[in-house]
């Protein structure tokens, strides 16, 4: 009987094969040199590592993975970072071998980042370790991982972004790591490369031997050790079914997202950079329902200039000139601080200076983004969306800034808001005349509506977007929009959720926006529904007392 190890699935898909355990380089030198010799060896290792990272970045860029290339470029900068250099030199001068000094200096930097208790910065700590490991390997030129010859599943303690980017993708069928989180760059890369991956598996590297047969389910987040014949067959069937499902769904690519009785919705994509557009188009997205621009701002060490922003926005608009592209203004704050925005420590950052509150308080940031957006608007159908709106005054102030930017650079755009604060949902009727559209951000609407921190595992069981109270806020949102002839969309994770879709159709949403990989299944789901039945379901769901009851009535009927 196979042993199952549970982690977090971060990139869906099935994979089986022998484990290939990535070894770590030794920290002890064969012979300890003088501090001067250790310094020279370290300085050379830094140059080699930075050059390797630049090379990986170039390779990724030539394959069209621009944001992943950006990660490697950032790591190359990290390798040459003066703070790191000084910290290592200091330790070497105190008599430590270079590899030790690198390891310890990196550990200090990592600890400082992790102490900030922020998932984004904690994931950056993984980058620091990645860079340190690379430098340590460069200090041991005779150390090399054994060559990978056959198809395998890569197992590592914490597979680093640069290792992920440089592995042989013809041989690696999946990743499994002891550490890691869904927001780590390894997870981001695995998804971008479409390789099944599970992270957070605890002590997997201790429990598995090189060459041992393992099976990985990137959706369920499990790794099965020594799967027997029947389990391997089940995996093979799962993989075949998945491939067949992909083919079947692909055939719907150019079909409308329309219920059986002819009610049409728009299925749009959530993207974080222009690099995500090809996947969105391939999935059949009819436009972009949410471009999270903070990723553009987070991928570097300073605010992007207006020109860089125009380029990024124009790239998306040009790729979809006939479809609406909703670009959200910077939603900094909460769980998304920017490395170069000196964050004042807030007791409750999710209730603090986040989204439109930040950009209205720092109007230069907003002005430059609005100018860039309006300048790019000539390439397509732009819609500008403001996050975290809770008051009419915020819309009025934002509109004044839009008008001022328009007076400077021209351009045109629809103007909308995210409905993600319950107050906005409850006064949707009063807000609607002042905007062109609403898009419900259900990730936050559920967080604020249920008072459940969306990134706190301890209260995760209470995070139920299908709670009748949240459905009621959504019903208010749609009614407010439609009563004033505005359209209403959804751009939270709920928009692509199999169970939620019949409810959202029944509540009357006009557009559902989701991560591109979920679009084909959402379309199939909609094409099997009937509007009248969905409406009836939604009305019944609004009268339920619990999320569990809502889930039950959806399951019973669809």
Point out the residues that are catalytic: 185, 491
Largest CA distance in the chain: 80
Q: How far is the CB of 387 from Mg ion (least distance, A)?
A: 6
Q: How far is the CB of 554 from Mg ion (least distance, A)?
A: 24
- For residues 124 and 138, give the distance between their C-alpha atoms in angstroms, rounded to a whole number: 21
The three-class DSSP label of residue 349 is helix
Q: How far is the CB of 442 from Mg ion (least distance, A)?
A: 9
DSSP conformation class of 324: E
Q: Which is nearer to Mg ion, 38 or 444 (by Cβ)?
A: 444
- For residues 454 and 41, give the distance between their C-alpha atoms in angstroms, rounded to a whole number: 46
Q: How far is the CB of 446 from ligand PEP (least distance, A)?
A: 8
- For residues 553 and 558, give the distance between their C-alpha atoms in angstroms, rounded to a whole number: 8
Q: How far is the CB of 194 from ligand PEP (least distance, A)?
A: 22
Distances, alpha carbon 189 to alpha carbons 70, 249, 271, in Å: 12, 24, 15
List the Cα angle 12/75/93 in 5-degree steps: 135
| Torsional sign, CA 115, 121, 122, 127 | negative
The stretch near Mg ion (CB under 5 A) out of 77-85, 221-229, 393-401, 417-425 is 417-425
Q: Which is nearer to Mg ion, 289 or 411 (by Cβ)?
A: 289
- For residues 111 and 98, give the distance between their C-alpha atoms in angstroms, rounded to a whole number: 20
Q: How far is the CB of 50 from ligand PEP (least distance, A)?
A: 33
Each residue 453-492 as x (binds ligand PEP by CB under 6 A) or -, in order, gives --------------------------------------xx
Contacts of Mg ion in 438-457 (CB under 5 A) = 441, 444
Q: Which is nearer to ligand PEP, 350 or 558 (by Cβ)?
A: 350
Is the Cβ–Cβ distance between 290 and 271 less than 8 Å?
yes
**CB within 8 A of 107, min separation 6: which ones?**
none
Strand partners, 278: none
Q: Across 22-159, where does the E strand assignment appear?
A: 152-156
Q: What residue spans of 202-228 are helical by DSSP H?
A: 204-207
Q: The tokens of 123 are what?
A: 């994931």
- For residues 289 and 316, give the distance between their C-alpha atoms in angstroms, rounded to a whole number: 12
Q: Which is nearer to Mg ion, 441 or 502 (by Cβ)?
A: 441
Instruction: Pick one of Mg ion, ligand PEP, none as the site partner of residue 127 (Cβ within 5 to 8 A by kind).
Output: none
List the Cα angle 386/392/395 in 5-degree steps: 35
- For residues 464 and 304, give the distance between their C-alpha atoms in angstroms, rounded to a whole number: 36
Total residues at interface with ligand PEP (CB under 6 A): 10
Contacts of ligand PEP in 431-450 (CB under 6 A) = 441-444
Q: How far is the CB of 223 from ligand PEP (least distance, A)?
A: 29
- For residues 227 and 230, give the distance between their C-alpha atoms in angstroms, rounded to a whole number: 8
Contacts of ligand PEP in 486-545 (CB under 6 A) = 491-492
Contacts of ligand PEP in 402-431 (CB under 6 A) = 420
Q: How far is the CB of 6 from Mg ion (least distance, A)?
A: 29
Ramachandran class of 386: left when φ > 0, alpha when ψ lies in -120 to 50, beta otherwise: beta
Is the Cβ–Cβ distance between 297 and 417 less than 8 Å?
no
Q: How far is the CB of 182 from Mg ion (least distance, A)?
A: 16
When asked if residue 300 is in the footprint of ligand PEP (CB under 6 A), the reply is no
Nearest residue to 38 (alpha-carbon basis) of 95, 107, 104: 95
Each residue 366-405 as x (binds ligand PEP by CB under 6 A) or -, in order, gives ----------------------------------------
Q: Which is nearer to ligand PEP, 492 or 520 (by Cβ)?
A: 492
When asked if residue 420 is in the footprint of Mg ion (CB under 5 A), the reply is yes
When asked if residue 333 is in the footprint of Mg ion (CB under 5 A), the reply is no
Instruction: Pick one of ligand PEP, Mg ion, none as the site partner of residue 492 (Cβ within 5 to 8 A by kind).
Output: ligand PEP
Instruction: Pick one of ligand PEP, Mg ion, none as the site partner of residue 137 (Cβ within 5 to 8 A by kind).
Output: none
The stretch near Mg ion (CB under 5 A) out of 15-23, 61-69, 391-399, 419-427 is 419-427
Q: Which is nearer to ligand PEP, 295 or 558 (by Cβ)?
A: 295
Contacts of ligand PEP in 18-77 (CB under 6 A) = none
Binds ligand PEP by CB under 6 A, chosen from 178, 331, 497, 511: 331
- For residues 292 and 330, give the distance between their C-alpha atoms in angstroms, rounded to a whole number: 8
What are the DSSP calls for 365-390, one per residue? HHHHHHHHHHHHGGGSEEEEEESS--
Q: Which is nearer to Mg ion, 453 or 530 (by Cβ)?
A: 453
Binds ligand PEP by CB under 6 A, chosen from 65, 191, 292, 525: 292
Distances, alpha carbon 545 to alpha carbons 163, 221, 372, in Å: 49, 31, 46
Q: Which is nearer to ligand PEP, 409 or 462 (by Cβ)?
A: 462
Instruction: Pick one of ligand PEP, Mg ion, none as the site partner of residue 442 (Cβ within 5 to 8 A by kind).
Output: ligand PEP
Q: Which is nearer to Mg ion, 174 or 387 (by Cβ)?
A: 387
- For residues 511 and 377, give the distance between their C-alpha atoms in angstroms, rounded to a whole number: 21
- Residue 438 Cα to chain centre, angstroms: 22
The binding site for Mg ion (CB under 5 A) comprises 420, 441, 444
The binding site for ligand PEP (CB under 6 A) comprises 290, 292, 331, 420, 441-444, 491-492
């Amino acid at each position: 009987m196979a042993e199952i190890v549970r982690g977090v699935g971060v990139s869906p898909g099935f994979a089986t094969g022998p484990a290939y355990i990535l070894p770590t380089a030794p920290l002890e030198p064969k012979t300890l040199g003088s501090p001067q010799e250790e310094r020279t060896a370290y300085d050379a290792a830094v140059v080699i590592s930075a050059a390797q990272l630049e090379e990986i970045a170039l390779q990724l860029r030539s394959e069209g993975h621009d944001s992943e290339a950006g990660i490697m470029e950032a790591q190359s900068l990290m390798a040459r970072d003066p703070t790191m250099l000084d910290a290592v030199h200091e330790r070497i001068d105190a008599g430590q071998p270079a590899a030790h000094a690198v390891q310890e200096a990196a550990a200090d930097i990592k600890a400082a980042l992790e102490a900030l208790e922020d998932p984004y910065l904690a994931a950056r700590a993984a980058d620091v370790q990645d860079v340190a490991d690379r430098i340590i390997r460069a200090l041991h030129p005779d150390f090399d991982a054994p060559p990978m010859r056959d198809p395998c599943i890569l197992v590592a303690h914490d597979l680093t972004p640069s290792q992920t980017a440089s592995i042989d993708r013809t041989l690696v069928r999946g990743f499994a790591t002891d550490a890691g989180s869904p927001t780590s760059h390894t997870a981001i890369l695995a998804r971008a490369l479409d390789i099944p991956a599970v992270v957070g598996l605890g002590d997997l590297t201790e429990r598995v031997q090189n060459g041992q047969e393992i099976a990985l389910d990137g959706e369920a987040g499990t790794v099965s050790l020594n799967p027997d014949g029947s389990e391997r067959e089940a995996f093979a069937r799962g993989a075949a079914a998945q491939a067949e499902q992909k083919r079947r769904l692909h055939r719907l690519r150019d079909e409308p997202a329309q219920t059986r009785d002819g009610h049409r919705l728009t299925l749009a994509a959530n993207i974080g950079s222009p690099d995500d557009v090809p996947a969105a188009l391939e999935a059949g997205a009819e436009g972009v329902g949410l471009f999270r621009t903070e990723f553009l701002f987070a991928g570097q060490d300073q605010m992007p200039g207006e020109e860089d922003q125009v380029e990024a926005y124009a790239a998306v608009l040009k790729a979809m000139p006939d479809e609406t592209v909703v670009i959200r203004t910077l939603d900094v704050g909460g769980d998304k601080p920017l490395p170069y925005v000196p964050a004042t420590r807030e007791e409750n950052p999710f209730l603090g200076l986040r989204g439109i509150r930040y950009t209205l308080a720092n109007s230069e940031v907003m002005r430059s983004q609005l100018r860039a957006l309006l300048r790019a608007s000539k390439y397509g159908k732009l819609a500008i969306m403001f996050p975290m709106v809770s008051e009419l005054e915020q819309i009025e102030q934002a509109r004044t800034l839009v008008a001022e930017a328009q007076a400077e650079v021209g351009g045109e755009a629809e103007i909308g808001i995210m409905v993600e604060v319950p107050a906005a949902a409850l006064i949707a009727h009063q807000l609607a005349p002042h905007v062109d559209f609403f898009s419900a951000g259900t990730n936050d609407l559920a967080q604020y509506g249920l008072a459940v921190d969306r990134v706190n595992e301890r209260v995760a069981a209470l995070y139920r977007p299908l709670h009748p109270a949240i459905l009621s806020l959504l019903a208010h949102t749609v009614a407010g929009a439609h009563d004033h002839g505005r359209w209403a969309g959804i751009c939270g994770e709920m928009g692509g959720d199999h169970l939620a879709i019949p409810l959202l159709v029944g509540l009357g949403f006009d557009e559902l926006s989701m991560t591109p990989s979920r679009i084909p299944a959402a379309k199939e789901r909609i094409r099997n529904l009937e509007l009248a039945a969905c409406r009836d379901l939604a009305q019944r769901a609004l009268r339920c007392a619990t999320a569990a009851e809502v889930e039950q009535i959806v399951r019973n009927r669809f």
